[in-house]
Amino acid sequence: MKILLLGSGELGKEFTISAQRIGQIVIAVDSYENAPAMQVAHDFEIINMLDGDALDSIVAKHQPDFIVPEIEAIRTERFYDYEKQGITVVPSAKAANFTMNRKAIRDLASKELGLKTAKYRYATTAEELQKGVKAVGMPCVVKPLMSSSGKGQSTIKTEADIEKAWNYAVEGSRGDVVEVIVEAFVKFNSEITLLTVVQNNNPTLFCAPIGHRQERGDYQESWQPALISDKDLYEAQDMAEKVTEALGGAGLFGVEFFLTDDGVYFSELSPRPHDTGMVTLAGTQNFNEFELHLRAILSLPIFEITLEKAGASAVILATENATNPTYSGIEKIAALPKTDFRIFGKPTSRPYRRMGVALVNDSLKTPIEEVVEKAKKAANLVTVNS
Ligand SMILES: Nc1ncnc2c1ncn2[C@@H]1O[C@H](COP(=O)(O)OP(=O)(O)OP(=O)(O)O)[C@@H](O)[C@H]1O
Ligand SMILES: NCC(=O)N[C@@H]1O[C@H](COP(=O)([O-])[O-])[C@@H](O)[C@H]1O
Ligand SMILES: [Mg+2]
C-alpha cells in the first residue's frame, strides 16, 4: 500500500519505520527539508500543508491508498474530497478535521456527547475574552483554537493577565482563525493519555494508561502504567470509546484526561500516535503505538494489547538555535541498563525543541516513580550542541 504521511516529525519517523518493516511504501511530507520521517521514507515532498492546492497536487501526483496526518496544521477540509475519491484518510476525514480546531472537538465532546470537560467559552477579541474569563472564573487557561504543543497557551490568574493572554494566544495561533478558548483551570491530581485503538473489523482496544507531566504546555516525562483507580479508568475508557466512535474510522487515538477528586475530565485528543505514547518505544507493550496505528489502518487484526513492562520516557531538549546540531553524552546513556534512546535527527534546533527521548523499562513490580527518575537522569546525560 502507498501511504502519504502528512507531517514528518519524530512520531512520523517511528511510524514510517514500522510501515517499512512490513513492506509498505511511505511518502513523507512536511514544510522543511530533511525532516525526521523523510530520512527513512521512500520519497518526500516539501509543501505548506495549510495550502489546499499544494495538498491537492501531491495527492494527485502520488495517488496514495492512505493519507496519514501526523500533525494538526493541515488544510483538513480537503480530506472530505480525498475520501470521496476513494482514498482512506486516517483515521477519518472528520477525525482529522474536527481535532484540528479545538472548538469542533470540544463542542462535539461536551455538547453532543455530554462528556465532562472544564467549563469553557470562546473569544474573538480581548473584550470577549474578558467576558469569557468572568464566565469560567479564575484561574483559567487560554489557548488559540488552532495550535499544539502548548503554543500560545497561558494561564490567567488575575485581571491584569487577560490582555497579555490574548496577545500571546494570537501570536501563537496558526492557521487563519483568530479565536481562543478559555477554560476553567482544572485542579487535577494527575493527567493521562489513554491510547485507544479502533479497528475496522475487531473490537476497540485500550493500552494501559500513560501518565505524563507537562511544562510550557509540552510533555517532559511520560510513564506507563499510570496509577489510576478502576472506576476512573472505566470512566475514561467509556469516554474514549464514545468520542472515537463519533469521529469514525480506524487507527490509534491519544485521548487526554485530567484525574481530579471529582472524577475524570475529558481534555482533548489526537487522532494519531501521541507524543507521550513514545514511552511504548521502551518495550512496555507487545506492540508500540506506531505499530498499533499501522495495523489498525491496514485492517490487520490486533488480538490483544499486553503490558509487558513498566516504562518511562523523558525528553531531550535543545537550548539554542543551531543548524545540524551534534549530541554529546550518547556513550553515557548507552552504558545504562534497561535504557534506550532516540535522537530524531532534526536538521535545526531552537530553545526547547524536542530533539530526542530517553526510554527506560523495568519490571512491573518497580515503583513507577523510580522508572521516571531513571529516565530523567538518562535524558540529562545527553546535551544538544550548536
Ligand atoms: N483547563 C486546564 N486546566 C489545567 N491544566 C490545563 C488545562 N488545559 C491545559 N492544561 C495543561 O496544559 C497541557 C497542554 O494542554 P493541551 O493538551 O490542551 O494543549 P496542546 O497545545 O494541544 O498540547 P499537545 O498538542 O501537546 O497535546 C495539558 O496537558 C495540561 O497539563
Ligand atoms: N504534540 C504534538 C507532537 O509532539 N508532534 C510531533 O512533533 C513534531 C513537530 O516537532 P517540531 O515542532 O520540533 O518540528 C510533529 O511532526 C510530531 O512528530
Ligand atoms: Mg494535549
* Ligand 2 site, CB within 6 A: 7, 9-12, 70-71, 148-149, 275, 346, 353-354
Label residue 217 by pLDDT band (50, 70, 90).
confident
- Evaluate whether the domain defined by 2-89 bears CATH number 2.60.120.330: no
Ligand nearest to the CA of 15: 2
Rg (CA), the chain: 20
Is there a catalytic annotation at residue 150? Answer: yes
Is there a catalytic annotation at residue 81? Answer: no
Q: What is the pLDDT of residues 298-309, one digit of tens each?
A: 999 999 999 999
Instruction: Report pLDDT for 322.
Output: 97
Distance 189 CA to ligand 1 centre (A): 14
Nearest CA owner, ligand 2 atom 17: 9
Instruction: Report pLDDT for 330.
Output: 97
DSSP H or E stretch at residue 213: strand 210-215
- Catalytic one of 174, 268, 348, 383: 268
Nearest CA owner, ligand 1 atom 9: 141
Give the C-alpha separation, 334 to 331, whole Å. Answer: 5
By three-state DSSP, how is residue 270 classified?
strand
CATH C-level class of 190-385: alpha beta
Q: Is the ipTM of this complex over 0.90?
A: yes
Is there a catalytic annotation at residue 256? Answer: yes
Label residue 148 by pLDDT band (50, 70, 90).
confident
Instruction: Report pLDDT for 174.
Output: 81
Q: What is the pLDDT of residues 85-137, one digit of tens each?
A: 999 999 999 999 999 999 999 999 999 999 999 999 999 999 999 999 999 99
Question: Ligand 2: which atom is nearest the Cα of residue 12?
Answer: 18
Quote the DSSP letter at residue 307. B
Has residue 341 got a pLDDT over 90? yes
Distance 255 CA to ligand 3 centre (A): 9
Q: What is the pLDDT of residues 259-300, one digit of tens each?
A: 999 999 999 999 999 999 999 999 999 999 999 999 999 999
Out of 3.30.1490.20, 3.30.420.10, 3.40.50.2000, 3.40.50.300, select the CATH number for domain 119-184. Answer: 3.30.1490.20
> Does the Cβ of 349 fall within 6 Å of ligand 1?
no
> Does the Cβ of 181 fall within 6 Å of ligand 1?
no
φ, ψ for residue 316 (rounded to 5)? -110, 115
Give the C-alpha separation, 228 to 188, whole Å. Answer: 13
DSSP H or E stretch at residue 132: helix 126-136
Has residue 177 got a pLDDT over 80? no
By three-state DSSP, how is residue 252 classified?
strand
Has residue 175 got a pLDDT over 80? no
Nearest CA owner, ligand 1 atom 23: 149
Q: Cis omega (within 30 of 0) on the bond before 225? A: yes
Ligand nearest to the CA of 147: 1
**Pairing relation of β-strands 354-362 and 310-317?**
antiparallel
Instruction: Give the domain ranges of the chain.
Output: 2-89, 119-184, 190-385
Distance 215 CA to ligand 1 centre (A): 10
- Catalytic one of 45, 256, 289, 291: 256
Q: Do residues 384 and 318 touch, judged by C-beta distance below 8 A?
A: yes
Distance 107 CA to ligand 3 centre (A): 16
Nearest CA owner, ligand 2 atom 8: 9
Has residue 149 got a pLDDT over 90? no
Supply the mean pLDDT for the chain.
Answer: 97
> Does the Cβ of 150 fall within 6 Å of ligand 1?
yes
Instruction: Please state, for a pLDDT cut of 70, what percent of the chain lies above it.
Output: 100
DSSP H or E stretch at residue 163: helix 161-172
What are the cell numbers at 312?
A: 518511562
Q: Do residues 152 and 171 touch, judged by C-beta distance below 8 A?
A: yes
Distance 219 CA to ligand 3 centre (A): 9
Q: Cis omega (within 30 of 0) on the bond before 139? A: yes
> Among candidates 371, 345, 347, which has minimal Cα distance to 359?
371
Which one has a higher pLDDT value, 172 or 86?
86
Q: Do residues 155 and 139 touch, judged by C-beta distance below 8 A?
A: yes
Has residue 10 got a pLDDT over 80? yes
Label residue 163 by pLDDT band (50, 70, 90).
very high
DSSP H or E stretch at residue 212: strand 210-215
Distance 241 CA to ligand 1 centre (A): 21
pTM over 0.95: yes
Is there a catalytic annotation at residue 275? Answer: yes
Q: Do residues 15 and 6 touch, judged by C-beta distance below 8 A?
A: no
- Put the strands of the sheet holding 120-123 in their side by side order: 120-123, 180-184, 140-144, 154-156
Instruction: Report pLDDT for 117.
Output: 98
Is there a catalytic annotation at residue 323? Answer: no
